[in-house]
Amino acid sequence: MHRKRIFRLFLAILPFLLLQACGGEDFVTAPDGSAGPLVIYPDYKDVTIPANIAPLNFRYAMAGVRNAKTTFTLGDKSVTIRGAEVLWPLRKWKSFVADAAGQTVSVSAEAVVDGKPVTDSWTFCVSGDSIDGYLTYRLIEPSYQMFNEVSIMERCIENFDETAICNHRKTDNACMNCHIHGQARGDYSLYYIRGPKGGSILNQNGKLRKLTLNAPGMLSGTVYGDLHPDGRFGVFSTNIILPSFHTLAVNRMEVYDSASDLTVADFENNVMINLPHVARADKFETFPCFSADGKSVFYCVCDSVTLPAQIKEARYDLLRADFDPATGHISEQVDTIWNAHAQGGSVCHPKASPDGRWLMFSVADYGTFPLFHPECTLYLMDLRSGEIRALDEIKGDKSDSYHSWSSDGRWFVFASKRGDGQYGKPYFCHVDAEGRTTKPFVLPQKSARFYVYNLKSFNVPDLGNASTGMTLRDAARLFKMSNELFKQAE
């Protein structure tokens, strides 16, 4: 058997070997489980949730738990679930939280732990603001080195239905890049298939196109980007990306750009608009996104340095420039939103909320790949007042990075390696009109033990207000098709 397959088989059976070593009982406490007399995982104590979220199934992650009983109370209505795993029937959960919208649910729990009775209590709030019902993400090995078993998935977060949009079996084991929505719209999105037969898969109102977003003079095909609200343009970076490994285990891996520029794709005319002032040899430009009204582009810029030798000197500013929706041109006049050297950090992944109120971005000490930077923190900018603050109240003990907004700007999801430090998982937060955030909660799963046994990272979680409607059959068909070629704009 191939060495790689043996290693993967070992990883797959490792949790079961651990259970046997512990006498056959799963009592391993997750590092990011709750505190309290009764530890639960996932930690759903004192969170705020949308009324349309899937059931918050959890387990008592402690040794020796017996005769557990958990009671959920809302006014004169209560539901009691017995057992160390608290698993809600979907219909009962839906009915209960629908009645609880805008209110607080009280939870009381009792169990026998190592022969002694233990009680605990907590609450959770059910927001009156619903969340977009679909989430896409790339499932990938946490090392980001094994690209031949990758899938892009779409999950209905109102239940537990999960569908593959694209996977390695339909693309001759080619890697695929992450799926993004335009303005959180289910019918407006894009993802990439890499390799000789690959291309950019654009979904516009259910019409699928396979594109080559490349033209003479570009460093590469498009990499990171965003879709314009009007549907005609996309703004992207082109990057020469190189991986590197740290000698220190705390960071493990670094990914950096040896060169990067910005470009604009005109989907109506099949042309790439390459602008010299955002493609400078002495600058690294990357991570562009549109404002909610499509009249601005936010992006990150770093002075050119020698890499990897000067990786800790690679610090990215956050800039804003006007965008002309008639021509697809980015203005040469820019505003500096966040100065990396003055603030002592480096910006990645700016994302504007579709309601036009907020801009969120992540900040690490240096570089452009924060997934293995435990210090990486999300920042929130009020686009009305210009106020910027670090979201320290939701910061985990490991990297918090890629994020996306719900269509109404009241919820966001982000990827976090909190707890185990290896596997990125999607966490959700509510943000109110004053920018106050709530305690993050992880994507609910049907099994209360899912995250104990899961061996994939949820990479680039992205919210959509409807299903994309894309299927594996679409992926296989598009993979075999010829690409629409783009040319350089004159």
Report DSSP state, residue 195: S
- What pLDDT is recorded for position 427? 98
CA distance 454 to 445: 11
34 lies in some domain: no
- What pLDDT is recorded for position 207? 95
DSSP letter string, 137-179 = EEEE-TTS---SS-EEEEEETTSS-EEEEEEGGGTTT--B---
User: Do 184 and 113 fall into the same domain?
Assistant: no
* Preceding omega of 461 cis (within 30 degrees of 0): no
Reported as a pLDDT band with limits 50, 70 and 90, residue 148 is low
- What pLDDT is recorded for position 30? 64
In this structure, are residues 53 and 159 in contact, taking their beta carbons and an 8 Å threshold?
no
User: Do 164 and 93 fall into the same domain?
Assistant: no
Domain boundary residue among 127, 143, 164? 127
Instruction: With a cut of 80, say whether residue 369 has pLDDT above it.
Output: no
Strands 103-113 vs 65-74: parallel, antiparallel or unpaired: antiparallel
490 lies in some domain: no
DSSP letter string, 385-450 = T--EEE-GGG--SS-EEEEEE-TTSSEEEEEE-TTTSSS-EEEEEEB-TT--B---EEPP-SSTTH
Reported as a pLDDT band with limits 50, 70 and 90, residue 373 is confident
366 lies in some domain: yes
Instruction: With a cut of 90, say whether residue 490 has pLDDT above it.
Output: no
- What pLDDT is recorded for position 29? 56
**Contacts of 475 by beta carbon, 8 Å cutoff, 6+ apart:** 165, 166, 167, 170, 171, 193, 201
User: Do 416 and 348 fall into the same domain?
Assistant: yes
User: What mean pLDDT do residues 378-405 have?
Assistant: 94
485 lies in some domain: no
**Contacts of 89 by beta carbon, 8 Å cutoff, 6+ apart:** none
Instruction: With a cut of 70, say whether residue 5 has pLDDT above it.
Output: no
User: What mean pLDDT do residues 127-144 have?
Assistant: 90
- What pLDDT is recorded for position 72? 98
Range of the domain at 5: 1-25
Sign (positive or negative) of CA dihedral 87, 89, 92, 94: positive
Domain boundary residue among 127, 144, 167? 127
9 lies in some domain: yes
The pLDDT tens digits for 437-458 are 999 999 999 999 999 888 899 9
Range of lowest pLDDT (41-55, 222-236, 246-260)? 246-260
- Which tokens is 383 given? 């686009």
- Which tokens is 86 given? 């608290």
For 457, phi then psi, to 5°, come to: -90, 145
- Which tokens is 244 given? 């590197």
Instruction: With a cut of 70, say whether residue 198 has pLDDT above it.
Output: yes
Instruction: With a cut of 50, say whether residue 231 has pLDDT above it.
Output: yes
488 lies in some domain: no
Instruction: With a cut of 60, say whether residue 248 has pLDDT above it.
Output: no
CA distance 372 to 21: 30
CA distance 103 to 433: 18
Q: Which of 449, 455, 477, 472 is nearest to 26 (CA)?
A: 449
Percent of the chain with pLDDT over 90: 72
Q: What is the CATH number of the domain that holds 108?
A: 2.60.40.10
- What pLDDT is recorded for position 253? 58
| The one-letter amino acid at 141 | E
User: Do 68 and 184 fall into the same domain?
Assistant: no
Reported as a pLDDT band with limits 50, 70 and 90, residue 196 is confident
**Contacts of 303 by beta carbon, 8 Å cutoff, 6+ apart:** 282, 283, 284
In this structure, are residues 297 and 320 in contact, taking their beta carbons and an 8 Å threshold?
yes
CA distance 28 to 183: 40
**Contacts of 116 by beta carbon, 8 Å cutoff, 6+ apart:** none
Q: Across-strand partners of 4?
A: none
User: Do 338 and 362 fall into the same domain?
Assistant: yes
User: Do 169 and 219 fall into the same domain?
Assistant: yes
389 lies in some domain: yes
Longest dimension (CA), the chain: 78
DSSP letter string, 22-91 = TTT---PPPTTPPPSSS-EES--TT-EEETTSPP--EEE-STTEEEEEEEEEETTEEEEEESSEE---HH
Domain boundary residue among 127, 161, 181? 127
User: Do 102 and 240 fall into the same domain?
Assistant: no
CA distance 188 to 230: 10
The pLDDT tens digits for 80-121 are 999 999 999 999 999 999 999 999 999 999 999 999 999 999
| More confidently predicted of 8 and 191 | 191
> Structurally, how many domains does the chain consist of?
3
The pLDDT tens digits for 51-80 are 999 999 999 999 999 999 999 999 999 999
User: What mean pLDDT do residues 164-172 have?
Assistant: 91
The pLDDT tens digits for 27-55 are 445 677 898 899 999 999 999 999 999 99
- What pLDDT is recorded for position 145? 53
User: Do 123 and 141 fall into the same domain?
Assistant: no
User: What mean pLDDT do residues 475-489 have?
Assistant: 94
Instruction: With a cut of 70, say whether residue 419 has pLDDT above it.
Output: yes
Mean pLDDT value across the chain: 89
Percent of the chain with pLDDT over 70: 89
- What pLDDT is recorded for position 243? 62
Q: What is the CATH number of the domain that holds 474?
A: 2.120.10.30
**Contacts of 101 by beta carbon, 8 Å cutoff, 6+ apart:** 51, 126, 127, 128
User: Do 10 and 146 fall into the same domain?
Assistant: no
Instruction: With a cut of 80, say whether residue 2 has pLDDT above it.
Output: no
User: Do 104 and 252 fall into the same domain?
Assistant: no
In this structure, are residues 195 and 468 in contact, taking their beta carbons and an 8 Å threshold?
no
User: Do 120 and 153 fall into the same domain?
Assistant: no
Instruction: With a cut of 60, say whether residue 144 has pLDDT above it.
Output: no
Q: Which of 335, 233, 306, 316 is nearest to 275 (CA)?
A: 233
- What pLDDT is recorded for position 480? 93
User: Do 1 and 62 fall into the same domain?
Assistant: no
- What pLDDT is recorded for position 371? 72
Q: Which of 270, 301, 303 is nearest to 287 (CA)?
A: 301
* Preceding omega of 308 cis (within 30 degrees of 0): yes
236 lies in some domain: yes
